[in-house]
């Protein structure tokens, strides 16, 4: 089955710890994205990558980092510099053109206490 | 700058009623795409439709229909004979082609509750 996987579904961390969220796709898509969703805020773009070894900041990149070493994988690290990391994180992918429709994974709900 | 406004935060309807979700967008580009997504309680966003700026034909897919009007910068979504399974948050989104293939910008979503 082709799709996007994110693991785990729920993640709990202590304040001050870095945490990495995984995102893997087998759709052979070139572009991948990370969004953050807070209640009533819609989706906000954190980072996106159009090709391997290249990525661009989105609207709220501060306190986050990414890597794109393989086409299939786009992990997101939430660093201790992120002031309010508790949120629902969604990964998506699309064909090489960012303006086309994106397909989403099931999301990871991160809680930092 | 591009912007998407979904003025309806929450809507409740009784099963079998028709319901329209509003979406108004702003863009300076002449070539752009509009999208609708559904987010059920499970959390995963499901792609429903993409419409490009040159195609103003309305689209119907089963109980779903979309009305695109460039004159009012709107891309509204109607569900006919709503069902409980339609309960979800619905997002409208916009992307621009001429400004460098920008990723999608999402509205804040409309939460639809269909009551049996």
Find the mean pLDDT for residues A5-26.
93
Whole-number pLDDT of residue B2: 85
> Are the C-beta atoms of A104 and A3 separated by less than 8 Å?
no
Q: What is the mean pLDDT of chain A?
A: 92
Whole-number pLDDT of residue B7: 95
Does position B100 have pLDDT exceeding 60, yes or no?
Answer: no
More confident residue, B106 or A39: B106
For residue A108, what are the contacts with CB-CB under 8 A and spacing of at least 6? A6, A7, A8, A9, A10, A11, A21, A88, A89
State the count of interchain CB pairs (< 8 A) between A and B.
58
Q: Per-residue pLDDT tens for A97-107?
A: 666 788 999 99
Residues of chain A with Cβ-Cβ distance to B47 below 8 Å are: 101-104
User: Does the distance separating the beta carbons of A45 and B103 come in below 8 Å?
Assistant: yes
Whole-number pLDDT of residue A96: 62
Residues of chain B with Cβ-Cβ distance to A88 below 8 Å are: 43
Q: What percent of chain B has pLDDT over 70?
A: 96
Pairwise CA distance, residues B106 & B5, whole Å: 8
User: Does the distance separating the beta carbons of A97 and B108 come in below 8 Å?
Assistant: no
Q: What percent of chain A has pLDDT over 90?
A: 76
Does position B56 have pLDDT exceeding 90, yes or no?
Answer: no
The residue in chain B having the minimum alpha-carbon distance to the alpha carbon of residue A46 is B103
Whole-number pLDDT of residue B113: 98
Whole-number pLDDT of residue B59: 85
The residue in chain B having the minimum alpha-carbon distance to the alpha carbon of residue A41 is B108
Whole-number pLDDT of residue B96: 84
Residues of chain A with Cβ-Cβ distance to B97 below 8 Å are: 99
């Amino acid at each position: 089955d082709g799709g996007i996987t994110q693991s785990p579904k729920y993640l709990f961390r202590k304040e001050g710890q870095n945490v990495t969220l995984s995102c893997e796709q087998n759709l052979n898509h070139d572009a991948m994205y990370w969004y953050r969703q807070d209640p009533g805020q819609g989706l906000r773009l954190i980072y996106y990558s159009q090709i391997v070894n290249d990525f661009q900041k989105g609207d709220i990149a501060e306190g986050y980092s990414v890597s794109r070493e393989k086409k299939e994988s786009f992990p997101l690290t939430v660093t201790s510099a992120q002031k309010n990391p508790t949120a629902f994180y969604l990964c998506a992918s699309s064909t090489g053109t960012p303006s086309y429709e994106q397909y989403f994974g099931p999301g990871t709900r991160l809680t930092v206490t | 700058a591009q912007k998407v406004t979904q003025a309806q935060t929450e809507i409740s309807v009784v099963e079998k009623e028709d319901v329209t979700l509003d979406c108004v967008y702003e863009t300076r580009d002449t070539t752009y795409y509009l999208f609708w997504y559904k987010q059920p309680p499970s959390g995963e966003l499901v792609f429903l439709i993409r419409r490009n700026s040159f195609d103003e034909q309305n689209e119907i897919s089963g109980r779903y229909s979309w009305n695109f009007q460039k004159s009012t910068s709107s891309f509204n979504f109607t569900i006919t004979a709503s069902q409980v399974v339609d309960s979800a948050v619905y997002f409208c989104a916009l992307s621009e082609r001429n400004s460098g293939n920008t990723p999608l910008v999402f509205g804040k979503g409309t939460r639809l509750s269909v009551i049996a």
